Chains A and B, each alone.
Chain A
């Protein structure tokens, strides 16, 4: 059974700083996704990572995938307040469903 674990689960950081959220998964998975959820809102797709070594960047966020280590990272560069949200990583299990991590609640303070 696929398990997805994120750390940290809570992260409070200052604007302008850099930080990384880690996502480990327990068994082979072909694809990994990162989603963002604002409080009281829906989930918004951020990145789809399809293969080992994949790297995707969107403004201050960069996601990478290492399938050999079963690890994905979401790196935040020079954080700004509007990046405050909960970030989920999720992997495909058996080409049938997504298994989600616990989510990382990110708070960026001015």
Chain B
């Protein structure tokens, strides 16, 4: 009965590969987010979806593409992975835009 879940928890891959991270929330929230946390623990929003529609797209390289098949799911696909993409990626959800957000367990991506 996990509220916000992500898979995989760990992802190790080579430069140039394409990978996806999946996120699901069972809280009935309308809004979902992707954040990147770098090695210095700095947390920055990447994308936000409200009812399957993109509402925030920060200055993220085009290699990152979010997809929301329904309001309970928000996946993140990354093309042509680079060393600098290594980070922990967190999914989050909230009842509507911005309100208190609930975070998933994170996916630690390591690009070799």
What is the interface of chain A, defined by CB distance below 8 A to chain B? 31, 33, 35, 37, 41-45, 48, 86, 88, 92, 95-100, 102-103, 105
Closest Cβ–Cβ distance, residue A7 to chain B (whole Å): 15
Q: Which residues of B contact A48 (CB under 8 A)?
A: 100
Q: Mind listing 19 A-B residue pairs with CB under 8 Å? A: A33-B100, A41-B105, A42-B103, A42-B104, A43-B90, A43-B103, A44-B103, A45-B101, A48-B100, A88-B43, A97-B33, A97-B48, A97-B56, A97-B98, A98-B45, A98-B101, A99-B45, A103-B43, A105-B41
Q: Which residues of chain B are near A35, meaning CB under 8 Å? A: 103
**Does more than half of chain A's interface fall in helix, strand or loop, or is it mixed?**
strand
**A86 near B97 (CB under 8 angstroms)?**
no
* Assembled-state Cα–Cα distance A102/B90 (Å): 16
Q: Does B66 contact A (CB under 8 A)?
A: no
Which residue in chain B gives the minimum CB-CB distance to A105?
Answer: B41
Contact yes or no, B100 A42, CB < 8 A: no
A96→B98 contact, CB < 8 A: yes
Give Cα A42 to B3, complex, Å.
12
A103-B42 CB under 8 A given contacts A48-B100, A92-B98, A98-B98? yes
User: Which residue of chain A has the shortest Cβ distance to B98 in the bound complex?
Assistant: A92
Question: Is A100's CB under 8 angstroms from B43's CB?
Answer: yes
A45 touches B44 (CB 8 A): no
Q: Which residues of chain B come closer than 8 Å to A45, judged between CB atoms?
A: 100-102
Collect the chain B residues with CB atoms within 8 Å of residue A96's CB: 48, 55-56, 97-98
Considering the chains assembled together, what is the distance between the CA atoms of A41 and B88 in angstroms? 10
The CA of A74 and the CA of B64, in the complex, are separated in Å by 35
Chain B neighbourhood of A97, CB < 8 A: 33, 45, 48, 56, 98
Q: Is the CB of A95 within 8 A of B42?
A: no
Within 8 A of A (CB), among B15-68: 33, 40-45, 48, 55-56
Q: How far is the CA of A42 from the CA of B55 in the complex (A)?
A: 24
A31 to B94, CA, bound (A): 14
Known contacts A100-B42, A103-B42; decide if A42 and B90 are in contact (CB<8 Å). Answer: yes
Specify which of B41, B48, B55, B90 lies most central, judged by the most chain A CB atoms within 10 Å of its CB. Answer: B41
